[in-house]
Amino acid sequence: MSLHSKKIILAISGSIAAYKAAFLCRLLIKQGAEVKVVMTKAATQFISALTLSTLSKSKVHIDIMDDDSWNNHVELGLWADLIIIAPATANTLSKMVSGQADNMLLAVYLSAKCPVMFAPAMDLDMWKHPSTKNNLQALKEYGNILIDVESGELASGLVGDGRMAEPINIVRYIKEHFNKSQRLKSKVALVTAGPTHEALDPVRFLGNKSSGKMGIALAEALYEEGAEVHLILGPSNHRPQHEGIILKPVKSAQEMFDACHEIFEKCDIAIMAAAVADYRPTSISDQKIKKKEGDLNIELERTPDIAASLGKIKNKQVLVGFALETNNEEANAKRKLEKKNFDFIVLNSMQDKNATFGHDTNKVTIYTDRGEILPYELKSKKEVAFDIIDQTLKYLA
Ligand code: C5P
């Protein structure tokens, strides 16, 4: 696969490895990519902008302001299919984590909607430092893709980890990335996410603590793999980062049920990541319920089980469920797998303090209808999403 017509921003920060960015630029162009270069001021001390503008046949962006004009970082960020930050210095990594935007490279990074890869380069001890490790972890959790350093002789004369990956290896990663994103081309996916709110009166509801982050990460990952994605999202403060995801905000379980049934037939994949309320008030008061002496009893009825209803009518669709259990985890997950006719179910562990509600990480075990039990490490929700997609692909016709 070539990189024909792929729009790539090559972002260069100030490390001795910046000279390799010229080779990287040349390789990307040779593969058919359209390349625009963004550099920090420090990078221009290692390699000239003229070299990069000649290789990329395009103006190199260094300052947010040029004499009397303003460089549009938002436009650049939106133009790209991919940003590769190579070399990424310890300083740039740290600023990316904290969201600083004091140069063009960082402003483009913050404005970008496309996947971001970064290839760090730094000295051995800087690489080993706990703050660098924390920054790498945070960047991965934001969904950025790390191209790991290589080992060898460093500019300091020391030998060890910290060398920027060789340009040829970076190109290999980039090609793999674009290859991967074709895996769900022409597939249609439905994802439910977030909590539901079941109204009691005009101002009150029954709800739960779901943030919607896992389902949103799934929608983003499915979209990045090329699928048409319909995200049916309950009340959540979060939104997916890709504008191409078809978002349907809903409030109640009934609204979520209706939205799912409207599109299920044309779907190839349906992933039920929402924490749907199991009960709702039997009646919704037209007016705010007033305080009175004594207790108040609320009568509840069952909400429709969306997943089970789709499980009954599914034909070609791969149907994936989630289970959040506090006890008898395995038995409960397996029971739901069968009862709701899922192809596989993703069990969230409540045992790990960094997993489940509100966190950016999750630890899951997948139980399949083929009898497999697949435990995974604690990972970012985006990485978990890709594990779920890998599993889904095994079921797609
Ligand atoms: O039965 P339980 O709520 O634990 O099942 C969890 C799975 O079923 C999740 O995939 C959830 O999204 C789905 N579900 C649903 N509609 C409901 C309840 C759960 O789709 N009313």
pLDDT digits (tens, 9 = 90+) for 367-389: 999 999 999 988 888 889 999 99
As annotated, the active-site residues are 208
Cα 66 to middle of ligand 1, angstroms:
55
Residue type, position 225, single letter: E
Q: What are the angstrom distances between the C-alpha of 392 and each of 232, 264, 327, 347, 365?
A: 19, 16, 27, 15, 14
**Nearest ligand 1 atom, CA 340:** 8
Does the beta carbon of 277 lie inside 6 Å of ligand 1?
no
- Name beta bridge partners: 230: 190, 246
Distance CA 273, CA 311 (A): 15
CA-wise closest residue to 380 among 118, 209, 138, 109: 138
Nearest alpha carbon, ligand 1 atom 2: 323
pLDDT digits (tens, 9 = 90+) for 340-352: 999 999 998 776 6
Asked if residue 95 has pLDDT above 90, the reply is yes
* The pLDDT of residue 157: 83
Tell the CATH superfamily of the 7-178 domain: Flavin prenyltransferase-like (3.40.50.1950)
Does the beta carbon of 323 lie inside 6 Å of ligand 1?
yes
Domain extents for the chain?
7-178, 188-277+300-396
Does the beta carbon of 322 lie inside 6 Å of ligand 1?
yes
For 304, which DSSP code? P
Does the beta carbon of 276 lie inside 6 Å of ligand 1?
yes
Are 7-178 and 188-277+300-396 the same fold in CATH?
yes
CA-wise closest residue to 192 among 306, 36, 67: 306
Q: What is the dotted CATH code of the domain comprising 188-277+300-396?
A: 3.40.50.10300
Upstream peptide bond of 240 is cis (omega within 30 degrees of 0): no
Question: Where residue 170 falls among pLDDT bands split at 50, 70, 90?
Answer: very high
Cα 273 to middle of ligand 1, angstroms:
8
- Name beta bridge partners: 7: 34
Does the beta carbon of 334 lie inside 6 Å of ligand 1?
no
Question: What token pair was written down for 97?
Answer: 């984590």
Nearest alpha carbon, ligand 1 atom 1: 336
Distance CA 265, CA 241 (A): 26
For the entire predicted model, the pTM comes to 0.67
